[in-house]
Amino acid sequence: MTAAGRWRSISSATWLACLLSALSVVWVLITISPQTYRPLMLLVGVWASLRAKPLAGRWGGALDLLWVVAALVGLGWPLAQGDAFWYRATTPTGGDLLAGVFALLVVIEATRRTTGWALPIVTAGFLLYAVAGPSLVSLGLTGIAHRGYDLSRLIGSLYMSLEGIYGVPLDVAVTYITLFSLYGAVLEASGAGTFFLSWSLAMAGGARSAASTGRSVSLAGFLLGTVSGSGVATTVTLGSMAWPLLRRAGFAANTAGAMLAASGIGALLSPPTLGAAAFLIAEYLRISYLQVLVMATIPTMLYYASITLMIEGDAEAIRESGNREAESGNRSSVSGESGNRQSESRGLQSGTPQSDNRQSSILNPQSSRTNYLHFSSLILVAALMALGFTPFRAVFWAIVAAVGVSVVVRQPLGPRRLAGAFSAGGTDALSVLSTTAVAGIIVGIVTLTGLGLKAAGLIVAMAGGSLVLTVLWSAIAVWILGLAVPVTASYIIAAVMVVPALTSVGVAPAAAHMFVFYYAVLSEVSPPTALAPFAAAALTGGQPFRTMMLTWKYALPAFLVPVAFTMDPAGLGLLFQGSPYDVVVSSVTALAGTAALAAALTGAWGFGAPPVRVLLGIGGLLLFHPALWADAAGIVALLVARVSKFRSSGVP
């Protein structure tokens, strides 16, 4: 092999991603200083990103080589300089400045290749803002103007300290996220992902109702999300296998797409893994990751309760439609042919033997009971953290357990398959590494210029100091931000700009961070760029916009719960904060509100009359508000709706 060939082999994205995962495991076992570990992981991650997404065209190879050299110089410089590099942050040398410029450019380029143009453009705007602060006065933007910073100060702050590029976001990425990405990849390689999906869908295969099929698909999305770690990826994987089941059960393409998207996104909001931004919550609040999981428990229950109840409502409409078709078939004078067709249609919907037998291999989990051991590593993560293990140690032993289970279920992870899992885990973490590094640049500039406090002041000023309006403006701000940048970056930026606005009007820090987290994740199902519903619509053949709006229906509690725990101290009960009374009352009323909203949006259970549905909707929204007066008013609205239902049906 030539020297060029050996270089390409060593620097391939596969081997670099594998090295990334291996380094994260080594970090758990031995102590590596942050000044060494963070730059090393970022260097390997950016190098792998450049190799994984090469430039096209005649000069693509040559330009890629220049980018790799820039990465080696810019991100390798701190490693080569040692401790002296960090001590001269206030007086950078010429080499420091050159290497710093290379580092800024190369992490932005890696982010562009892995996530698109939006975040790099936003980052460039913040860098311009850092330099051109004084010029904003002449433009009339005195509220966000500042004295401006030269290259030396920016490099010293963003590159030569454990802030900026190497700040908390990157620290979380190279510790929590790389390890959990590796864990998901090992689970997938061990056959756990296939088992979770087939086990859940097996219940749908034997189900005799549309509701049972829908519930099983939702459960499959939750379990698959623990392996995938991505809302869109979970939606696509689930949809490719579950859409035929939903279609045979009678669900329309748009409705099925909404169910798939909502189930896929729900995995990012649910224990035991949640989304990548959840790890940042633990770091920012200085609490354990287990506490974050506990805070997410009740919202997760409400989210999946909503999906289940919405499915029940839609399934009831399917049953009524089937009954009407059956009656029409029975009245038909045609010699039994129509009735036979209706019988066959009902057989397909109920999962009887007339259904497509080609799905049988998907619907039946492996017969050996040992396959249920795949659940053990999921339980082990939470159990070890409850016993006082750090999340890093807990997930390390969960990885070991998953490898051991693969042997028991006769799908052993040999050296080749294990290396493939390490490579897949590292590859899954690449976009997060570059994203958090670039988000660190933005956070560093926000901190340096004081923009965070200024933005918070503007939000509070626009709201006139009102808690309700501050929450509303904050939700809009996070939503708009989430349309442009990935979930993790959206949370990081909002954490330094929106959280201060919420806390300034009395919202508890834990509630403020969870509020931002939920709305950052929910940007995945929000118009006009709702990636998960669009992906689901592409699979089902549905209409993207209609699918997106129906996904909003299924995910509605996820939008309302964050408002509930920020609007009143009693709402903290939804996060398992506060008194036991607050936890019980806020959870029960929110669940009742979820049921009321499901009935209002689907017209199920006999609540089909428009005035009754309006009353149910109002009552459901009031029950989400944790204040006593709102609960009382919500209960009254539900009682009136129920009485109206009885009167409209002729019941005395």
In this prediction the pTM is 0.81
What value does the mean pLDDT of the chain take? 83
Note whether residue 367 is domain-resident. Answer: yes
**pLDDT band (50, 70, 90) for residue 310:** confident
Domain count, the chain: 2
User: Which has more confidence, 554 or 438?
Assistant: 438
The residue among 408, 429, 450 that closes a domain is 429
Structure tokens that stand for 80 in this block: 């080569």
Distance of CA 378 to the CA centre of its chain: 18
CA distance 608 to 648: 10
CA distance 389 to 370: 27
Note whether residue 500 is domain-resident. Answer: no
The residue among 429, 448, 468 that closes a domain is 429
User: Which has more confidence, 591 or 369?
Assistant: 591
Q: What is the dihedral of CA 234, 496, 288, 566, to 10 degrees?
A: -80
Contact 306, 554 (CB under 8 A): yes
Collapsing DSSP to helix, strand or coil, 609 comes out as coil
Indicate the angle between helix axes 231-249 and 337-350, nearest 10 degrees: 150
Note whether residue 256 is domain-resident. Answer: yes
CA distance 111 to 437: 9
In the predicted structure, residue 355 carries a pLDDT above the cut 60: no
**Backbone CA torsion sign across 394, 490, 269, 498:** positive
- With 0-12 / 13-18 / 19 or more C-beta atoms within 10 angstroms meaning exposed / middle / buried, residue 3 is exposed
Question: Could you report the per-residue pLDDT of 517-567, keeping only the tens digit for each?
Answer: 988 888 777 766 677 888 888 888 888 888 888 888 888 877 888 988 898
- Low-confidence winner among 136-140, 314-318, 457-461, 639-643 (lowest mean pLDDT): 314-318
Note whether residue 146 is domain-resident. Answer: no
What is the domain range of residue 590? 578-652
HSE, CB side, 13 Å, CA atoms: give it for residue 560. 25
- Low-confidence winner among 194-198, 327-331, 511-515 (lowest mean pLDDT): 327-331
Question: Could you report the per-residue pLDDT of 82-92, keeping only the tens digit for each?
Answer: 999 999 999 99
* Placement of tokens 């101290």 in the chain: 569
Collapsing DSSP to helix, strand or coil, 491 comes out as helix
In the predicted structure, residue 19 carries a pLDDT above the cut 90: yes
Question: Could you report the per-residue pLDDT of 204-259, keeping only the tens digit for each?
Answer: 555 567 778 888 888 888 877 766 666 777 788 788 778 888 888 888 899 889 98
Alpha-carbon distances of 447 from 118, 164, 496, rounded to whole Å: 22, 9, 8
* Placement of tokens 């390390």 in the chain: 396
So what's the pLDDT on residue 205?
55
Distance of CA 347 to the CA centre of its chain: 37
Note whether residue 11 is domain-resident. Answer: no
Structure tokens that stand for 517 in this block: 């987290």
- With 0-12 / 13-18 / 19 or more C-beta atoms within 10 angstroms meaning exposed / middle / buried, residue 60 is exposed
So what's the pLDDT on residue 538?
84
Note whether residue 174 is domain-resident. Answer: yes
Amino acid letter for position 491? Y
Note whether residue 397 is domain-resident. Answer: yes
Note whether residue 45 is domain-resident. Answer: no
So what's the pLDDT on residue 560?
87
In the predicted structure, residue 341 carries a pLDDT above the cut 70: no
Alpha-carbon distances of 26 from 211, 291, 399, 453, rounded to whole Å: 47, 26, 13, 39
In the predicted structure, residue 203 carries a pLDDT above the cut 80: no
User: Which has more confidence, 643 or 153?
Assistant: 153
Cis preceding linkage at 569, omega within 30: no
CA distance 541 to 537: 6
The residue among 398, 429, 460 that closes a domain is 429
Amino acid letter for position 247? R
Q: What is the mean pLDDT of residues 632-637?
A: 92
